[in-house]
């Protein structure tokens, strides 16, 4: 479907509402995995991971089906051996750098990831909960301020899904957050084996 100039103008003036809660469901196909993003304000898009790619990549397509971000897992890092040490480089649709998601190699926690913006400024830290069923993303300056929370939902005999709760929409790029959510869901059994 093509958007007219009028529609494009109205979209830039009135951006879609920012969700406060997003559910990520995985759909597994022969050649790819889809991570569907549903929210309290409607469909947020899909993240697609091709099984045929030489390098792990999560491509986020927004609610209009347009490429919004691509996240590449670095092959030459400890993340190729250990999920908790993974490093994701995140780029926008035009190839601009959105940010970086970097697993902490040395930590006393089960898992910890630092989230950086496009200028390599630390914007948040994701701490794995002690029960390994979620991540709390704290502000880089004030650890007591929670920006978002990712929670794994276990349902017997049904594929697990994750819920992202956003507490502060302005301080964290949603493309960075959705990329982290897809990475976590894709590797959930490395953090905690399904019961």
DSSP 52: S
- pLDDT value for 8: 43
How many Å from the N-terminal Cα to the C-terminal Cα in the chain? 43
Partners of residue 183 on adjacent β-strands: none
- pLDDT value for 9: 43
Q: Say whether pTM exceeds 0.95.
A: no
Class of CATH domain 17-191: alpha beta
What the block records as the tokens of 173 is 């790029």
What the block records as the tokens of 68 is 């919004």
Q: What share of the chain is helix, strand, coil (3-state, %, to 5)?
A: 15, 45, 40
Residue 43 half-sphere exposure, CB side, CA atoms within 13 Å?
11
- pLDDT value for 124: 95
- pLDDT value for 125: 95
- Can you give the residue ranges of every domain in the chain? 17-191
- pLDDT value for 2: 41
Going from the first residue of the chain to its last (195 residues), give the mean pLDDT of each consecutive group of 10, the final group possibly shorter.
Answer: 42 66 92 94 94 91 96 76 79 96 78 93 93 90 92 79 86 92 85 68
């Amino acid at each position: 479907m093509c958007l007219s100039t009028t529609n494009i103008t109205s979209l830039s003036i009135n951006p879609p509402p920012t969700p406060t809660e997003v559910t990520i469901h995985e759909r597994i196909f022969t050649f790819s995995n889809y991570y569907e993003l549903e929210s309290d304000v409607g469909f947020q898009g899909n993240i697609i991971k091709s099984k045929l790619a030489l390098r792990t990549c999560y491509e986020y397509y927004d609610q209009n089906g347009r490429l919004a971000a691509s996240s590449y897992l670095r092959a030459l890092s400890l993340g190729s051996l250990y999920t908790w040490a993974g490093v994701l480089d995140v780029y926008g649709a035009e190839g601009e750098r959105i940010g970086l998601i970097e697993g902490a190699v040395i930590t006393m926690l089960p898992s910890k990831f630092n989230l950086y913006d496009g200028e390599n400024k630390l914007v948040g830290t994701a701490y794995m909960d002690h029960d390994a069923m979620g991540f709390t993303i704290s502000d880089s300056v004030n650890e007591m301020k929670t920006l978002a929370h990712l929670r794994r939902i276990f349902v017997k005999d049904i594929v697990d899904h994750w819920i992202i709760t956003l507490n502060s929409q302005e301080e964290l790029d949603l493309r960075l957050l959705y990329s982290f959510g897809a990475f976590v869901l894709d590797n959930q059994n490395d953090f905690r084996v399904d019961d």
